[in-house]
Amino acid sequence: MRYRRTWVATALSGLIVVMAGAFGAHGLEGRISASLLEAFETGVRYQAWHTLAILGVLIWRQQTPLKGQSLVLWLWGAGILLFSGSLYLLALTGTRGIGMITPLGGLMLMAGWLALAISAWRAKAPTDRGA
């Protein structure tokens, strides 16, 4: 299986999403402030959406491998770690300095979407007539 490690990491990210979501809903509610709980839930939501997006790119890559797809996967993986990870740490520790990492993770997630658009634009199927 190509990209075995990426598939495994993505599956583990999905596992973390479910665990973190349950922990936020059942373990953190009432223990941390509403704003910190909201930050935690934002981390879960962004990790979930990007984990699903990574799955989509992995499937696309099996059908049509392109150079830019690896960059997309790397940017989203790093973005999840920095964006969601920093929000998890912020919520669990209350350390505000960690929040400075969050925008960098957000930029990486956005850059991944831009890289995806560029990869899709460059992909030329034999039957593609500009659609």
For 84-121, write each residue's pLDDT tens digit: 999 999 999 988 888 789 999 999 999 999 999 999 99
The residues near 90 (Cβ < 8 Å, ≥ 6 apart) are 36, 39, 96, 98, 99, 102
For 14-66, write each residue's pLDDT tens digit: 999 999 999 999 999 889 999 999 999 999 999 999 999 999 999 999 998 98
Domains of the chain, residue spans: 4-120
For 115-126, write each residue's pLDDT tens digit: 999 999 987 765
pTM check: above 0.95: no
Does the structure show a pLDDT above 80 at 131?
A: no
pLDDT recorded at residue 95? 87
Cβ 119 vs Cβ 69: under 8 Å: yes
